[in-house]
Amino acid sequence: MFSIFPDAASIAECVSATLIEKIERKPEAVLGLATGGTMEPVYASFVARARERRLDVSRLTSFNLDEYVGLDGEHPKSYSAYMRHHLFRHLRFDRSRLHLPDGLAPDLEAHSREYSDRLRQCGDADLQLLGVGGNGHIGFNEPGTPFDSRCRVVELSERTRLDNSRFFEGNAMVPTLAITMGMVEIMQAREILLIATGEAKAPIVAEWYRNEVTQAIPFTILKRHPRARVLVDEAAASLLPDSVRYSPTALSA
Ligand code: GLP
């Protein structure tokens, strides 16, 4: 369930190959999609491979993990704009099958419940992609989130707002609220791939490794999932014990 790769590019190749293989086997697959810097090389690699193989993506359904509250889909920093930019505009998706939470929904709580219900009706994700926050959050499920939480509106921690301020013009511009799939929707996926790359993720990856499942580190919940894999590059693995870093079973080509 844990693999160390030489770098972010090799993880991107592996994940995009997995995606292609899944979609070829099941063209109507349901994908759980993530945003953030970590996913950019993954989507770039996927788009290149999909084009090369003329992959039919028109029957795919997708559900994004989260969206900021208060940003409309056209806002350049919204996750909706991120998805269009990095993935959706490059291939022939059926736009009606691509789902993102609506950060401007008039009744955010009702919208969150509908989003969760829609995912259920579509049969849950066959494959869920995840990044991880520097504090261990998945989606926007911050440390301390109960494991029975569902899709809902959440307040972002100062740490998360600071981490994500690199995508905005300063910390003050980062929204304070978001809609996120909960731990329940994430864990309902049949398969999960979490990716952590770069030195900044090394401390939380080491914490994940050292700890049992705990709400204080949300992504430890993946240790309970029968088909979850955590893929890290050497930089993100740099604070793991040498016995793990140099173990042949932890290494992936
Ligand atoms: C955001 C997103 C998460 C993402 C995390 C890591 O807060 N809500 O879904 O995994 O950031 O982002 P990055 O890949 O940019 O480090």
Measured distance CA(162)–CA(178) in Å, rounded? 15
The alpha carbon of 80 is separated from its chain's Cα centroid by a whole number of angstroms, namely 14
Of 11, 15, 33, 35, which is best to mutate to test ligand 1, by the most ligand atoms within 8 angstroms of its C-beta?
A: 35
Please indicate whether residue 137 is annotated as part of the active site.
Answer: yes
Token pair 């009706």: residue:
121
Instruction: Please report the pLDDT score of residue 172 as a whole number.
Output: 82
Average pLDDT of every residue of the chain: 95
Show the beta-strand stretches assigned E in 48-197.
61-64, 66-68, 98-99, 127-130, 152-155, 177-180, 192-196
pLDDT digits (tens, 9 = 90+) for 193-235: 999 999 999 999 999 999 999 999 999 999 999 999 999 999 9
Instruction: Please report the pLDDT score of residue 250 as a whole number.
Output: 59
Measured distance CA(101)–CA(64) in Å, rounded? 7
Atom of ligand 1 nearest to the CA of 38: 14
| Active-site choice (13, 67, 102, 142) | 142
**248 confidence band (pLDDT: 50, 70, 90):** low
Please indicate whether residue 212 is annotated as part of the active site.
Answer: no
Pocket, ligand 1, Cβ cutoff 6 A: 34-38, 65-66, 131-133, 139-140, 160, 164
pLDDT at 80 over 60: yes
Instruction: Please report the pLDDT score of residue 32 as a whole number.
Output: 98
Instruction: Please report the pLDDT score of residue 253 as a whole number.
Output: 39
| Active-site choice (13, 64, 66, 102) | 66
Instruction: Please report the pLDDT score of residue 33 as a whole number.
Output: 98
| Active-site choice (137, 141, 164, 233) | 137
| pTM beyond cutoff 0.75 | yes
**pLDDT (average), residues 160-165:** 92
Please indicate whether residue 74 is annotated as part of the active site.
Answer: no
pLDDT digits (tens, 9 = 90+) for 108-120: 999 999 999 999 9
Please indicate whether residue 233 is annotated as part of the active site.
Answer: no
CATH number of this structure's domain 2-242, picked from the four choices 3.50.30.10, 3.40.50.1360, 1.50.10.20, 3.20.20.80: 3.40.50.1360
